[in-house]
Amino acid sequence: MTRTLSPLFRPLTLRSLELRNRIVMSPMTRSFSPGGVPGADVAEYYRRRAAGGTALIVTEGVAIDHPTAVDNPRVPHMHGDAALEGWRRVVDAVHAEGGRIVPQLWHVGPLWGAMTSDVDPALTPMRPSGLWGEPGVTSYPDSYLERALPVTAPMTEQDIADVVSAYERAARDAMDVGFDGIALHGGHGYLLDSFLWDSTNRRDDEWGGDLQRRTRFPSAVVSAIRAAIGDDAPIFFRFSQHKQQDYEAQIARTPDELRVILSALADAGVDVFDASIRRFDVPVFEGSDLSLAGWAKKLTGAASMAVGSVGISKTLRESRTGGSAPVRNNIPELERRLSEGEFDLIAIGRLHLADPTLATTLLDGDDLPEFDRTIHESTLT
């Protein structure tokens, strides 16, 4: 395929957001923002990817203004004058290179304490029913599970209202500093996802019970953000079947169940579903070749974004146990699915660490870089 005719390089418009191609830098926690403040090195890190041709950057997870949003002091915040000024410099640097950028707003919910054991014991993790979730296939060590598994107090109505307000403030502040839209981390067992998952949400009030009621909290967050930012900017929502607590977990066992979840979120204001899975091209439901991103688009009519092991032979979890991840040229399969309209965007994570000019590499048809976590995860380049 002629590279300039590749579906990877077709422009796309999402509300007021105009993208020069379909390549997105996927959110990846980097922990290079001491005190929650992104510095000049973070601005340069994102600028280089925009200069390399990537159309849209979804930032690493960014803490909303809530006491238990994140437990890592080097994860950036979306609150406080210093952090917001730092983000303004990041946004300006990306825009100067013709790129666009949205922040991924984050609350870890039940997974509070997973990044560090040095957390304030007086703070209660935000859990719908006080449950961490049934542990299954997980990469967490036994020492963390021992701390995390005891049941805590369920979220109160005031807790729920406070968290919704914190998301709303973060979204408003993000737009004020110049971001092009808002992304939400609603997967992997974190707070928004924990309301969807029946292993963590056993409530019997309006916020839990059947699947429809389990969508109400994340939908309330989306609705509050839509009201706060208006109709111009898009909202992205990352969702997943798997959880950090159990990589084999599912929030939807059938397409009809997935429709219930995603339709509620689309009605609340989501424009793009970021379908997080370990391999972007793996079928999700029996009897269909459709990917998770493909099902999101088919069931809702909204735009969708695929992610997972683009150009890489190992999943993220596998590469963390094995170090390097040899190249796997699945770009033709990616282009086929994009061309057929199965999904609209492709988010690429690890290859963006290995090659800041990844979009140009793909445009020129050059060899894909090899990702090695021992090299590419340890520095901010």
**pLDDT surpasses 70 at 318:** no
Number of H helices and number of E strands within the chain?
14, 12
Domains of the chain: 3-376 (3.20.20.70)
Average pLDDT of the residues of the chain: 95
Q: How far apart are the first and last CA of the chain?
A: 31
Q: In whole angstroms, what is the distance from residue 235 CA to residue 222 CA?
A: 8
- Locate 184 and state its tokens: 């939400």
pLDDT at 1 (0 to 100)? 44
HSE-up of 381 (CA within 13 Å, CB side)?
Answer: 13
Single out the residue of 253, 264, 140, 136 nearest to residue 200, CA to CA. 136
pLDDT at 314 (0 to 100)? 65
What is the mean pLDDT of the segment spanning 330-353? Answer: 97
- Say if CB 291 and CB 343 are below 8 A apart: yes
Q: In whole angstroms, what is the distance from residue 341 CA to residue 301 CA?
A: 11
- Say if CB 216 and CB 206 are below 8 A apart: yes
**pLDDT surpasses 90 at 325:** no
Strands 56-63 and 100-106: parallel
What does the DSSP 8-state code read for residue 77?
B
Catalytic residue flag (residue 140): no
Using left for φ > 0, alpha for ψ between -120 and 50, and beta otherwise, residue 349 falls in alpha
Tens-digit pLDDT profile for residues 37-95: 999 999 999 999 999 999 999 999 999 999 999 999 999 999 999 999 999 999 999 99
Q: Give the torsion through C-alpha atoms of 224, 229, 230, 234, to 10 deg.
A: -100
Tens-digit pLDDT profile for residues 152-205: 999 999 999 999 999 999 999 999 999 999 999 999 999 999 999 999 999 999
- Say if CB 113 and CB 125 are below 8 A apart: yes
377 against 306, higher pLDDT: 306
- Say if CB 46 and CB 94 are below 8 A apart: yes
Q: Which residue in the list 45, 46, 167, 190 is annotated as catalytic? A: 190
- Locate 3 and state its tokens: 């590279």
Helix (H, G, I), strand (E, B) or coil at 223: helix
Q: How many CB atoms lie within 10 A of CB 122?
A: 6
pTM of the complete model: 0.96
